Amino acid sequence: MLEKQRTILKSASLSGVGLHTGNRSVMTFKPAPENYGIRFRRIDLENSPEIPADIDHVVDISRGTTIAMGNAKVHTVEHVLAAIRGCEIDNIIVELDSNEPPIMDGSAIDYVHTLVKAGFSEQEAMRDYLIIEDTVHYHSDTDKVDIVALPLKNDFRISLMIDFANPALGVQHSGLFDMENEFATEFAPARTFCFLKEIEMLKEQGLIKGGDIGNAIVIVDRQFTDSEFDTYKNKLELNDKIKIGTSGILDDTPLRFKNEPARHKVLDMIGDLALIGAPIKGQILAARPGHKSNIEFTKMLRKLYLQRKVVKKYQMLKSTNGVLDVEAIMKILPHRYPFLLVDRILEIEMDTQRIVGMKNVTFNEPFFQGHFPEKPIMPGVLIVEAMAQCGGILLMQTLEDAESKLAFFTTMDNVKFKKQVIPGDQLIFEMQILSFRRGFCKMKGKAYKGYIGGEVACEGEFSVAVVNK
């Protein structure tokens, strides 16, 4: 696997019609600098807004994957993302003059050809992988889906099975074991597919305005007489020359692979997994996946990736006792003795913007000498300060230039002190960011005695201003 990041050498374009919107668009791939990631740029909108291709910007998965930022949207990005990830590109700008990439023939092969035409350029920065170290499992009883990520040293593989209970499809399997040598020839040409009965539903929803049998495999899943099918074609405004055929595929469209639908599902999954924001070192096994399950699974892996990124950033060795030790905390916070009031971070969840920290309260704390000598009690204001420091660690992870910033209290609301904290207690802080806009953050939290859900020593809501040092 490649160890250094790469982009493309030069710009390259292609054009066509969007599958669902029917809008014509020109799509241009452009080189991007190191650590830029994959971003879609809408040049038809004012100021040409960019949308990062990550799971945090997914807004719709009803028939494909749609990403958005503000009023800027791009529909059906999964095939483009699959081509980019399949070509092992880390940094690229995908420029569009409309709201959906051209569907081309329903596969990713035209995107791959365009990227190959642009050429590849190795960059100096090292590639950041999500390395699967423990099993990650997604399960849905409703959709009968299982997806598992397993450890696999220094490699990426994906295997899946589909089962639509249709004679034309049956049960199909497919697997990719070598991205560099297999993707472009064995998976990029695999076209999208749908069932004939879905076409009516999709048209009623105002979708597949750019769809036809030239960019999708249509599986026949109901019986028609010739006259019934003629009526059906007129109703759906299908080409009058289209026939039911005898192969179980509308118009007897020949398959490029015997298991082309299963291969396309591999393609879709590679595209959706690109929304993690980093390539994977691990093995993916999937049974009956779709975009909905892919996105839910990707959310799980994105969360794991962001947590590992924090640990890696502060060079904390993996430990069963937490994700950040006090040495790592001191790389984040400016506080020092006797005012550093967090001993360890136990959990960081970047997707839910939640953090759990810990402080061991001992009799050697300097404030116990005066508060109070005969009845030592931790001052409430210091409990609040410890909570704020814990929340500040989480806040700093949301900033790209955290090293140049400081955070200060502006207000405290609904602060309540419910239990005394004395020597020998262990405080567990649970803090969560409620909002963060234009340098002002609102968070809430609780300080528990002993464990989450235990006795609440303190709780409250805090507003924080982030300023330059």
DSSP secondary structure, 373-385, as one string = TTS----HHHHHH
> What's the pLDDT tens digit per position in 290-305?
999 999 999 999 988 8
In the block, which residue shows the tokens 């794991």? 304
Whether 371 is a known active-site residue: answer yes
DSSP letter for each residue of 425-445: -EEEEEEEEEEEETTEEEEEE
pTM: 0.75
Residue 122's contacts (CB-CB under 8 Å, 6 or more residues apart) are 2, 4, 5, 6
Alpha helices in 39-128 (DSSP H): 78-86, 109-118
Question: Which amino acid type is present at position 274?
Answer: A
Q: What band does 313 get if pLDDT is binned at 50, 70 and 90? A: low
- Contact predicate 221/196, CB 8 Å: yes
Q: Which of 75, 113, 291, 335 is catalytic?
A: 291
pLDDT in tens, 423-465: 999 999 999 999 988 889 999 999 999 999 899 999 999 999 9
291 is catalytic: yes
- What pLDDT does residue 322 have? 64
Residue 438's region, left for phi above 0, alpha for psi from -120 to 50, else beta, is: left
Q: Which domains does the chain have, with CATH numbers?
A: 4-124 (3.30.230.20), 136-312 (3.30.1700.10), 314-468 (3.10.129.10)
91: helix, strand or coil: coil
For residue 439 the two structure tokens come to: 């340098």
Rounded mean pLDDT, 60-68: 88
